[in-house]
Every structure is written in structure tokens, then in C-alpha cells.
Amino acid sequence: DAGITQSPRHKVTETGTPVTLRCHQTENHRYMYWYRQDPGHGLRLIHYSYGVKDTDKGEVSDGYSVSRSKTEDFLLTLESATSSQTSVYFCAISGTGERTDTQYFGPGTRLTVL
Amino acid sequence: GDSVTQMEGPVTLSEEAFLTINCTYTATGYPSLFWYVQYPGEGLQLLLKATKADDKGSNKGFEATYRKETTSFHLEKGSVQVSDSAVYFCAEVRRNTDKLIFGTGTRLQVFP
């Protein structure tokens, strides 16, 4: 299994509070991704990174920001959490960017915004 | 934009039954195609993949063939087990991107 950890694994927070989720990899992979999983939608890409300090938006990026100051860490921040951001969040990594490259997923973080 | 469509679940089968989960894609060109599996409470694991037309991906008794003429990548298994109960996701990666496009997932329930 790819060495990907996510923290925290579970979090309950209140509307309007900031939340940061962390993804950590030990594989030295270049690409990292944040997805959210919701019933009826499968997984949707929030943001991704193709290198240190290089990030870009996915299809559902509103209300989220990311940072990547080191190869191994990719942070997802909800500046002011809303109930619509209650979801399961998955981090993924992939290698050198070949079009056939495979993404490996972390165990997920279940976030509940009250 | 690109999309992946897979059959809605849940799919309910008895142990040793034959499984088919349909998946079609819309990306033009030659996307890479994937099946991921998610067991309860866990993240997604790669089950199999195919990178060009007529390729067959296989793993753990599951198979899927890349059919460009029908833009399909149906998942099959000849004899399912209770331990195969999970949610299965079809996905594509379009040429020159690294963004996975997922289907909505199909829940499989296998009963003894």
C-alpha cells in the first residue's frame, strides 16, 4: 500500500470555524489531490498539486484553499466551514505525471459541520 | 465535459453468482480506464486498469475490457464471494491530464 496518511480521521466542527485537514505521504510522489465523496456524486476533485507551491483548482474548489510547502504534505483548509462541506475527504497521490499513472488514496477524513 | 456513467446500485447477488457492472465513458481519444473498490470504512483501492483499446485489466478474479467501439469498460467476475461486497467506482483519465473522472459508484451486496 502507498504510504499515505490523513489527519484527523474524524472531526466535528461548527459552522463558521476554520478547519485544516492534512495529507502526508512517504512516497515522494509529485502529484497530490484532494477529493470529497458525497452520496450520488462519487468523488469530486477539490484541488490538486503538481509540485511544491504549485496548486490548481478542481471542479468543486469554492470555499476551499490548499497549500503545499513540502513534497510530503498537502493541506486542505476550509476558511469558514459550512454544513454543505460535511463530507468524507480523501487525499490521493500519483507519480511522475504519465497519463497512465495511477492514483493511490488515503484512508479518508470524515468531517461533520454542525 | 468528460463523464463516466455506471449502473446504479445496489446490485444484490447470491454467492457464486456472475457479476457485471456496466461503465461507459465519454472522453475522446484514448483515456486510461480504471476500476476502484471501496470496502466499508476504507479508502479507495485500485482494482484494475487498462490503458489502450482492447486491453483487458484483471485482478482478484475481476476483469474489464477496454472497448473503444462502445466506449465501455464493464466490470465482470465469474463467481462473487461475500467478501466482494463493496462499492465499485469506474474512472477515466483523459490524455495529457492527471485528473480522474469518477462514476457515482455501484454498491455490490453479496449474500451467502
**What are the chain A neighbours of B100 within 8 Å (beta carbons)?**
33, 43, 45, 92, 103
Q: How confident is the model at residue B96 (pLDDT cuts 50, 70, 90)?
A: low
Torsion of CA B110, B7, B68, B34, to 10 degrees: -60
Do A41 and B95 count as a contact with CB atoms less than 8 A apart? no
pLDDT tens-digit profile of B65-75? Answer: 999 999 999 99
Give the residue among B47, B23, B40, B38 at the shortest CA–CA distance from B101. Answer: B23
- Mean pLDDT of all residues belonging to chain A: 91
Report the alpha-carbon distance of residue B89 to residue B76 in Å, rounded: 13
pLDDT for A96? 58
pLDDT tens by residue, B5-21:
998 889 999 999 999 99
Cell of B106: 455501484
Residue-level pLDDT at A30: 87
What residues of B are in contact with residue A50 (Cβ under 8 Å)?
98
SS3 label, residue A81? coil
Q: What is the pLDDT of residue A26?
A: 92
For residues B49-59, average pLDDT: 93
Question: Which positions of chain A have pLDDT values less than 70?
Answer: 1-2, 96-100
| pLDDT above 70 coverage of chain B, percent | 96
Report the pLDDT value the prediction gives residue A1, as an integer from 0 to 100: 54
Contacts of B28 (CB under 8 A, 6+ apart): none
The pLDDT assigned to B35 comes to 97
pLDDT at residue B11, rounded to an integer: 96
**Which chain A residues are closer than 8 Å to B95 by Cβ?**
99
Spell out which chain B residues touch chain A, with contact meaning CB-CB distance below 8 angstroms: 32, 34, 36, 42-46, 49, 51, 89, 93, 95-100, 102-105
pLDDT for the residue A100: 46
